[in-house]
Amino acid sequence: MTESAESIPRFDPDVLRAFISRIFVAAGIPQDDADLVAELMTRSDLEGSDTHGIFRLKMYVGAVLAGKTSKIPNIHIERESGNTAVVHGDDGLGHLAMNFATKLVIKKAKENGMSWIGIKHGNHAGPASLWAKMLLEHDMIGIYSAVAGVNHVAPWGGTDLLLGTNPIAFAVPGLEEPAIVLDMATTVSSAGKIQVKAQRGESMPEGWMIGNDGQPLTDSSRMNEGSVLPIGGPKGYGLALMIGLLAGTLNGAAFGKDVDAFTDPGKNAPNTGQFIAAISIEAFGDVEGFKRQVDDVIRSIKASPLMPGFDEIRLPGEQSNRRNLYRVENGIPIHDKLKAVLNGLADDLKVEGL
């Protein structure tokens, strides 16, 4: 569906940014931090990550008000080597620890050719691509991954939900062509997509979920009676496992049975883990030469003859790039239901609504 065909009310990004910020401030977050997180969340919405931007505001604020998320976290480096660090997020808003880690990874990669920073005691920090993309303007390749906050995935052949849909993002700059930005969950469908289906009363296609009886599960209202299927079966299971070890266990963050549903109030802070890695292109050769090669690869892919049923070949990140261009111009669509939730939040905190 092209975005212009949707008839959903649109909001100016500046309006959303200001709204998110005043909500956070009313919940006790310092102004600078509130502004920063508001900016990052709005950027996620601009790029089309509709379930990872302002959609999450109520959940974030709920965790702050419940005392699960620290208002004034002491984000610090817990361990450091020449080109690595473990950043302790002190259970603050996830974007803050990630922002700290991203600055650090850029500095260390500039000095050393590459760098890898892990995060512990972080929180949900928006879409994976948001962070990987931050390295592009520094002529670096970005890799980001996270342990998902809820376990929706069973190990291949099993039924215990011990794994998340653990996403991974890569960002690679081109010269004239837009950057290649892959942002994928290691499952066929994200949990969010299934929740949307459930909300709309639609069934899922076969291949998204499997029931504990081993049969395809297509009734989206029965989402919690089975496992979200990993891509390529055992392969996606392996990837989700490896990402969890790298983004979680390696940093002393939660993974496996330790992952608490961060949407569940009344529990402790989730100790979310992430990692961000930066590869400085100049360490490997001529930066412009590399970007030109990336352009070549992009153009040869775009020029491939099409399979019947396709009207174009897309590069990873192309769609979100288009969304961004459109939304900067025309505003960010906010469903009435979401708007009502957000205005309810504003009422509770006694600040001006949307």
Of residues 298 through 317, those in contact with other proteins by CB under 8 A are 300-301, 304-310, 312-316
Closer residue to other proteins (CB): 265 or 285: 285
- Taking CB under 8 A as the binding criterion, the range among 25-33, 94-102, 111-119, 196-204 that sits at the site for other proteins is 111-119
Place of tokens 């296609």: 205
In whole angstroms, give the CA distance from residue 203 to residue 225: 14
184 binds other proteins (CB under 8 A): yes
CB 187 within 8 Å of CB 229: yes
Identity of the amino acid at 32: D
Instruction: Give 191's contacts (C-beta < 8 A, 6+ positions apart).
Output: 148, 150, 152, 165, 228
Our finding on whether 150 is near other proteins (CB under 8 A) is no
- The least distance separating other proteins from the CB of residue 307, rounded to whole angstroms, comes to 5
From candidates 61, 87, 125, 141, binder to other proteins by CB under 8 A: 141
Question: What's the CA gap between 99 and 90, in Å, rounded?
Answer: 14
Smallest gap from Cβ 199 to other proteins, in A, equals: 24
Determine, following the binding rule CB under 8 A, whether residue 251 of this chain makes contact with other proteins. yes
DSSP 305: P
Q: Which residue has the tokens 């259970």?
A: 91
Ordered alpha helix ranges (H), 162-268: 191-200, 234-247
CB of 59 or CB of 297, closer to other proteins: 297
Q: Of 67 and 232, which CB lies nearer to other proteins in the complex structure?
A: 232
84 binds other proteins (CB under 8 A): yes
At 283, give phi and psi (nearest 5°).
Answer: -70, -15
Instruction: Please measure the distance between the N-terminal and C-terminal CA atoms of the chain and give it in whole angstroms.
Output: 26
Candidates 54, 191, 279, 354; binder of other proteins (CB under 8 A) is 279
Taking the least distance from each CB to other proteins, the nearer of 69 and 102 is 102
- Closer residue to other proteins in complex, CB, 266/308: 308
| 257 touches other proteins by CB under 8 A | yes
Q: Binder to other proteins among 40, 140, 162, 223 (CB under 8 A)?
A: 162
Q: Please report, as a single letter, which amino acid is at residue 128.
A: A
> Of residues 280, 320, 342, 354, which one binds other proteins by CB under 8 A?
280
Do 254 and 147 meet the contact criterion of CB atoms below 8 Å apart? yes
Q: How far is CA 8 from CA 20, 334, 339, 344, in A?
A: 20, 6, 11, 19
Q: Binding of other proteins at residue 159 (CB under 8 A)?
A: yes
Query: Under the criterion CB under 8 A, does residue 128 sit at the interface with other proteins?
Result: no
Return the residue of 115, 151, 166, 272 that touches other proteins, per CB under 8 A: 115
Phi, psi of 320 (to 5 degrees): -70, -30
Tokens of 54: 């302002």
Closest distance between other proteins and the C-beta of residue 261, in Å?
17
In which element (H, E) is residue 60 found?
Answer: helix 57-65
For 20, 43, 52, 197, 227, the CA distances from 201, given in Å and listed in that order, are: 30, 30, 22, 6, 19
| Nearer residue to other proteins within complex by CB, 59 or 242 | 242
285, 335, 340, 344: which one contacts other proteins (CB under 8 A)? 285
Task: Tell the residue number behind the tokens 């289906």, with chain if given.
Answer: 197
Q: How far is the CB of 146 from other proteins (least distance, A)?
A: 16
Among 82, 224, 329, 336, binds other proteins (CB under 8 A): 82
Choice between 30 and 158, CB closer to other proteins? 158
Among 38-46, 64-72, 237-245, 260-268, the segment contacting other proteins (CB under 8 A): 237-245
The footprint of other proteins on this chain (CB under 8 A) covers a number of residues equal to 79
Closest-CA residue to 3 (of 328, 310, 343): 328
- Answer yes or no whether residue 192 interacts with other proteins by CB under 8 A: no
| Span interacting with other proteins, options 30-38, 62-70, 240-248, 260-268, rule CB under 8 A | 240-248
